[in-house]
Structure 1
Amino acid sequence: MTGSERMTVFDGAELPERLDGLDLGKGRILLEPAAEEMEFDLLDTFDGQVAAKGALLVAAGDALVLLEPQGLLRQERAAPGFVSDLPQGPVTERLRRLVSPLRTLMRVAEGHLTRQAVRGVDDLDKTHLRGTLWVFAPICGGTVSLLEMAALRGYAPTLARLEAALAPVVEDIHDARGAAQALRGTGASAPVLMAPDETAFRAAGDIIRSQLAVARQQEPGVLADLDSEFLHDYRVALRRVRSVVSLFKGVYSAERTTELKARFGAVMAHTGRLRDLDVYLIERDKYLSLVPEAMRPGLGKLFDRLAAERQAELKVLTAWMDSDAYRAELHGLARLFEKPKRLAKGPEAERPALDYAKTLIWKRYRKVNKIARGIDDATPDTEVHELRIACKKLRYLIEFFTPLFDDPEVPRLVKALKRLQDNLGNFNDYSVQQAALGRVAEDLARDPGSDGVAIATSLGALVTVLHQRQMEERARITSSFAAFDGPDTQAGFRRIFKPEEGTA
């Protein structure tokens, strides 16, 4: 197609009928009689990163096609996988900017595709617009139509008339994210809805059920080892569950709270070592770049060892997740929150959710401030770690209760908190990495093997660099908190989250 003016329209199955003969006032739309018929695969990451950026990635016939509002890119079809493993081409190059290198592309929908040429003509049958109508009929999910049109030079007003004519009748699918969700037949877990006057007990149960569903959705990806993010998202969801149990004090009885924390903690404990190994291997290139070139071969040998250990750890984890014991435990935990009468209530269970949320968030916010204002150059690292954990708990609480606070300033407050968390997280990462590498060095001392000396020498160099980075991050913490603790942020927290006078 030629022309600089373009448009992309998404709709359901009715778009072909709406288009055929559509009156543009000084012209009409014509569907060409010949249409291509073929099978298609919709490709995306599990969490829909391609669609989230406004695009659809389609494998059809011998082509891999990326459909975006600004146009269409095409290259030779290839098996889905990590973008880095795809053959070079315009689609691959664009995907590098859309998809995280940690996530793999996979087939998320399949079915039948009809592709048909479309023209916009005037009363004398002169062509003003050219385009293509794509109709996707998936095996599971709903039919989606996509119209891409471009104006020939000088005919942008005709394209504007087409947009105006379609606007009143195209309502159900607005963008690529909605189209992908319809084609997949399922979307992400439904957002947790809350009412200010519902009980804290009900709010806690709704959040936990939602996060358990997210965790269970990751299981196939973990078992198939599609990419490391499935395990990461699985752990994040369960960590959020544990946070609800721990932070929503008084919602459940003390005995039940202790039991739930222990059970969810035991499930997560099985995944810890594999996640640690994933993080090391993800950071391989970064670690190698931090040490002198002469040290890199030894470090490479260490990563070879870690990769072999990862394969062994993966077998252990997948065997456990595929066991009757695992399925029984997750089913049992889910049943507790599906049948909440089985959960003994605590003294805060019947408290209105909004009142309870303000109390929790305001108390946690004040704790963050108290810890942060006491940090200086002489503060022990343990207190810096305590601040990181307090910030994480504050952010979890705000995110859990976001449905109760319909205030446009909440995202700004969360963003300010996240900037402080990023600094604290970097500090913690460097600290944890040094400790972990220290344990590796101890293991090497006991069993050096043929590569032990080379690996130990490289480890020493790497630990030195990580310590320097940690000290640099530590120096930034005070200024990071000062930015978070500005008057606008203080006023926002006070206005939105401070409980009414006299509230417990």
Structure 2
Amino acid sequence: MTLTCSWQLPTSLNRDTVLSALPSGMTAAPKSTQEVRVSVLDDDQWHICQRGDLLLYNHQDSRLELWQQQQRLAQETRPLTIRFHWQLNDPALAKLLQARLGVRAFTEKFTSEWQQHHLSVYNSDDKIIVRLTFTTLNSVSRELLSLLTIQPLRGYAKEARQLCRSLKKLGATPCDQLTPLQLLTLSGLNVPLPRHRPPFNLHDDEVTAVAIMRMVGQIVEQARAQEEGLIADIDSEFLHQYRVQLRKARSLVSLFKKDLPEPAFHQLKSSLKELSQHTNLLRDLDVFLLDHDHYLTMLPESLRPGLEQACRHIHRLRKRTWQKVITALDSADHRDKMDEINQAMTAPRLQPRGKKLKQRVDHHIVRQHRHICTSVSTLSTSCSDDAIHQLRIECKKLRYLLELFAELYPRKPLKVLTRELKALQETLGRFNDFTVQHQFLHQLAGELRDSDQKSSLNALSALLYQAQKQEKKQVFSILSTFDCDETTSRVHQLLAYGEPS
């Protein structure tokens, strides 16, 4: 086994000085010189880097590489304009990035340049015994760093140790192995810590209206934090998260309407609804385009060209719709809505009303769980899709209560209750996805004039309707195993924590 080691050279020590000090019997010959320019690619949240991996783009040969520590997992030659895993040709790299990023785009986060000189060291028998790599780069402080990597060939570890002793006498200091991550870190790469939602700093006894308004304010700010990425059209997740945050804010306002001053409630309800509505079509288009490849596999070969033509039409429609959304986000009306939300949130501080926070949250958790159990007991296989949709909404409200007010409850019983609801929520979510896309495609097909496109979309809509019917069966399979008595017991256990004995 050979051992590679790296050294940092003092500023007074250049390459020629090192080579002139080689131990007796060793000579060096240049092999190659490289000008390296590398970019770190990642998503908005730095998910790849935060797990210790690196997605690198080598500008010299247009190569995309995924690294894990010192191992290159996969690579592909592609232009830098590629931003999504499904645009890659190499299935291994695409699969690895899908697992790390999902639907998020990878974009340039950091770029560095360095120069490398590769040399071979020969012994007196004219055999290569060691390979040297001199690296020079600008450090984070903009000082020029000189680094040397020594890689002995098998059987020549003794000669490598001789060379290391010579370097130490010259004033060189050992450093960490020069992996891509180490070189980039020396160049100034600073991976941020994972982003966590800031706590709401809730207290059991605080006035409910004050707490709710503070929470709504933070959630709306989290929605607004997505606007920059939405406007830049980096990936569809910015819009999705924008809508999720607004849904949470609307859910809070709706659930706690009796605790809020009436003018503030009506103002928030109206403004938050309007902010959400103008993104509905864009989200439907995004969902369709994200599922495009899967939809192609669902259709027979003869109908796929029509779907591809329809997709080009949908891409154009999406671009126009996105333009309308970003125009709306930059409008005076949007700014007015934000001002109205801010004004409404000052009301409870002037006239606080309502019971203590935890009492009200406990009440709503029990109430939402009761709604779910009532729906589960009354639904039948002949029920309408709207009835299933309503059950999904009730489950989502309970999930938001458990998620947003987690600070008020101990983690273990909260986690158990959430886990028991998860399977039901996921199944209801899939049913809703099929329903929405079926309706969306049916409506879109009616607007198209091209017969091939219309036929393909109608066929796909019919297939999604069949998938929706199958998922409806799965919904009732899950409902048959959903034990309301058991979850009621879980709710009571959760609420019992922290109560006086």
Do the two structures share a fold, i.e. TM-score over 0.5? yes
| 1:132 counterpart residue number | 178
| 1:68 counterpart residue number | 68
- Against the structure 1 CA distance between its residues 40 and 299, is the aligned structure 2 distance closer, same or farther, given a 3 Å change threshold? closer
Equivalent residue runs for 1:349-498 within 5 Å: 351-444=355-448, 448=449, 451=450, 453-485=451-483, 489-497=487-495
Q: Distance in 2 between matches of 1:278 and 1:399?
A: 26
Q: Name the larger-Rg structure.
A: 2
Aligned to 1:107, the other structure's residue is in SS state strand
How far has the Cα of 1:212 moved from its partner?
Answer: 1.5
Q: Does 1:33 align with 2:31?
A: no
Range that drifts further, 243-252 or 298-307: 298-307
- Against the structure 1 CA distance between its residues 266 and 344, is the aligned structure 2 distance closer, same or farther, given a 3 Å change threshold? farther
Aligned to 1:190, the other structure's residue is in SS state coil
Q: Distance in 2 between matches of 1:455 and 1:77?
A: 32
AA paired with 1:181? Answer: P
Q: Distance in 1 between matches of 2:2 and 2:383?
A: 64
How far has the Cα of 1:395 moved from its partner?
Answer: 0.5
How far has the Cα of 1:312 moved from its partner?
Answer: 1.3
Q: Tell me if structure 1 keeps the 8 A contact 2:438–2:461.
A: yes
Stretches of structure 2 that go unaligned for 5 or more consecutive residues are: 12-33, 113-138, 151-156, 165-173
| 2:25 counterpart residue number | none
Q: Distance in 2 between matches of 1:439 and 1:412?
A: 41
| 2:123 counterpart residue number | none
AA paired with 1:428? Answer: N
AA paired with 1:107? Answer: E
Q: Tell me if structure 1 keeps the 8 A contact 2:8–2:146.
A: no
> What CA deviation, in whole Å up to 9, does each residue of 1:101-158 have, x standing for no partner?
x211123456755695699x9xx9799997237276799xxx77xxxxxxxxxxxxxx
| 1:105 counterpart residue number | 106
Q: Distance in 1 between matches of 2:70 and 2:275?
A: 46
AA paired with 2:246? Answer: L
Q: Does 1:219 align with 2:227?
A: yes
| 1:47 counterpart residue number | 45
Range that drifts further, 488-497 or 311-320: 488-497
Q: Distance in 2 between matches of 1:454 and 1:89?
A: 31
| 1:238 counterpart residue number | 246
Aligned to 1:43, the other structure's residue is in SS state strand
Q: Tell me if structure 2 keeps the 8 A contact 1:362–1:499.
A: no
Q: Tell me if structure 1 keeps the 8 A contact 2:74–2:92.
A: yes
Q: Does 1:268 align with 2:272?
A: no
Q: Tell me if structure 2 keeps the 8 A contact 1:359–1:499.
A: no
Q: Does 1:249 align with 2:249?
A: no
TM-score (norm 2): 0.73
- Against the structure 1 CA distance between its residues 79 and 87, is the aligned structure 2 distance closer, same or farther, given a 3 Å change threshold? farther
Stretches of structure 1 that go unaligned for 5 or more consecutive residues are: 4-28, 145-178
Aligned residues: CA RMSD = 4.0
Q: Distance in 2 between matches of 1:2 and 1:90?
A: 30
Q: Tell me if structure 2 keeps the 8 A contact 1:78–1:86.
A: no
| 2:210 counterpart residue number | 202
| 1:180 counterpart residue number | 191
TM-score (norm 1): 0.72
- Against the structure 1 CA distance between its residues 196 and 71, is the aligned structure 2 distance closer, same or farther, given a 3 Å change threshold? farther
Number of residue pairs matched? 426
How far has the Cα of 1:246 moved from its partner?
Answer: 0.7
Aligned to 2:99, the other structure's residue is in SS state coil
How far has the Cα of 1:322 moved from its partner?
Answer: 2.0
How far has the Cα of 1:392 moved from its partner?
Answer: 0.7
Q: Distance in 2 between matches of 1:55 and 1:484?
A: 40
> What CA deviation, in whole Å up to 9, does each residue of 1:159-197 have, x standing for no partner?
xxxxxxxxxxxxxxxxxxxx6225xxx945523332222
- Against the structure 1 CA distance between its residues 481 and 136, is the aligned structure 2 distance closer, same or farther, given a 3 Å change threshold? same
How far has the Cα of 1:220 moved from its partner?
Answer: 1.4
How far has the Cα of 1:368 moved from its partner?
Answer: 0.5
- Against the structure 1 CA distance between its residues 482 and 325, is the aligned structure 2 distance closer, same or farther, given a 3 Å change threshold? same
AA paired with 2:97? Answer: L
Q: Distance in 2 between matches of 1:115 and 1:391?
A: 60
> What CA deviation, in whole Å up to 9, does each residue of 1:178-233 have, x standing for no partner?
x6225xxx945523332222332232123222212221111111111111111111
Q: Tell me if structure 2 keeps the 8 A contact 1:64–1:91.
A: no
Q: Distance in 1 between matches of 2:50 and 2:417?
A: 24
How far has the Cα of 1:332 moved from its partner?
Answer: 4.3
- Against the structure 1 CA distance between its residues 376 and 87, is the aligned structure 2 distance closer, same or farther, given a 3 Å change threshold? closer
Q: Tell me if structure 1 keeps the 8 A contact 2:6–2:147.
A: no
Taking only the aligned residue pairs, the percentage that are identical comes to: 28
Q: Tell me if structure 2 keeps the 8 A contact 1:115–1:132.
A: no
Aligned to 1:132, the other structure's residue is in SS state coil
AA paired with 2:477? Answer: S
